Amino acid sequence: MNLEQSLAELKTSAPGHLSDGVLLGTGLADGFDTFESPIGEVIVAFNARGVSAVDLAEDAALDRFKARFGRPLLEAKPPHGWRDRIRRALERGKPGSLPVDFRSVTPFQQQVLVEAAHIPKGQVRSYGWLARVVDHPKATRAVGSTMARNPVPLIIPCHRVVRADGRIGNYALGGPENKVRLLEFEGTDLDRLEDLARRRVRFVGSNTTHIYCHPTCRQARRISDRHLVEFRSESEAIAAGYRACQICRP
């Protein structure tokens, strides 16, 4: 039974007007509220299971939600204690203690999104890296599709996932310009990333520790220019006698 049939049945079986409270309480609609974010005002949708969607605060957002999730959005107050948790999640770019409703994605996509949520603020990883850490190394394209369908961007930071060549790539929440704004807000050195991508450098290492990292890893940022070594691939780093950083797991 779809949403419209459910609503029709409830309306014919219950006298009077079907209130917003009934729609929200029965799960036939999600609530939403507006919040500020580094890319402007957004709406955050929620239900009893957790936050279900994040979108730009514009008129078309309500229609997009209904088209994707099959139920309407109604303006409402978040559950007790959630408002501060939503604000923190938007600010930090990770769910923290905020529950997420993953019913709109497959188990594989949920696994990818949960792993993406662990990418630190100001750092980036590639689609291929995500595929490897979820034990599906050949699923790079599926990982890219998962990022494009992330129901809660900003809260699960798909903006921290970039192309294999190191370039920024697309972003579902307002396009690549918003992705750039978010990464710059988090302190990512995009000029350096673009320079490395142009020269096909994928990893950097220290000739004192002989450890190689993703260029945005906090360990990599501590390497002085005189000790910095650049690598175009993992195999090149390993052949040079370097071992992978245990923090960023290149």
User: Could you tell me if 178 and 39 are in contact, meaning their C-beta atoms sit under 8 angstroms apart?
Assistant: yes
Task: Indicate the pLDDT class of residue 23, thresholds 50, 70 and 90.
Answer: confident
Please determine, for residue 15, whether its predicted confidence score (pLDDT) is greater than 90: no
The β-bridge partners of 73 are 30
Q: Which strand (E) or helix (H) includes residue 190?
A: helix 190-198
Active site amino acids: 158
Is 13 a residue whose pLDDT tops 90? no
Q: Which helix (DSSP H) or strand (DSSP E) does residue 84 occupy? A: helix 82-92
- Strand 228-231 vs strand 243-244: parallel, antiparallel, or unpaired? unpaired
pLDDT at 14 over 50: no
The type of residue at 214 is H
The domains of the chain are located at: 3-92, 105-189, 201-250
Confidence check: pLDDT of 199 > 90: yes
Fold of the domain built from segment(s) 3-92: Double Stranded RNA Binding Domain (3.30.160)
Closest CA to 185 of 35, 37, 36, 38: 38
According to CATH, the topology of domain 201-250 is DNA Methylphosphotriester Repair Domain (3.40.10)
For residue 197, give every residue at least 6 positions away whose Cβ sits within 8 Å of its Cβ, in sequence order, or none.
165, 166, 167
Look at residue 5 and tell me whether its pLDDT is greater than 80.
no
Across residues 16-42, what is the average pLDDT? 82
- pLDDT 10s digits, 129-177: 999 999 999 999 999 999 999 999 999 999 999 998 889 999 999 999 9
Question: Could you tell me the sign of the dihedral formed by the alpha carbons of 93, 99, 101, 102, in that order?
Answer: positive
pLDDT given at position 212: 98
For residue 18, the model assigns a pLDDT of: 52
Q: Which two tokens stand for residue 34?
A: 């507006």
How does the average pLDDT of the chain come out, rounded? 91
Residue 25: pLDDT band with limits 50, 70, 90: confident
Average pLDDT over residues 109-113: 98
Q: Do domains 105-189 and 201-250 have the same CATH topology?
A: no
46 token code pair: 């929620």
The CATH class given to the 105-189 domain equals mainly alpha
Q: What is the pLDDT of residues 51-89, one digit of tens each?
A: 999 999 998 999 999 999 999 999 999 999 999 999 999
Which pLDDT value is given to residue 2? 47
Task: Please tell me whether residue 33 adopts helix, strand or coil conformation.
Answer: strand
What residues does 125 pair with on adjacent strands? Answer: 161
Nearest to residue 150, comparing CAs of 86, 189, 94, 96? Answer: 94
Whether the CA torsion 155, 159, 111, 68 is positive or negative: it is positive
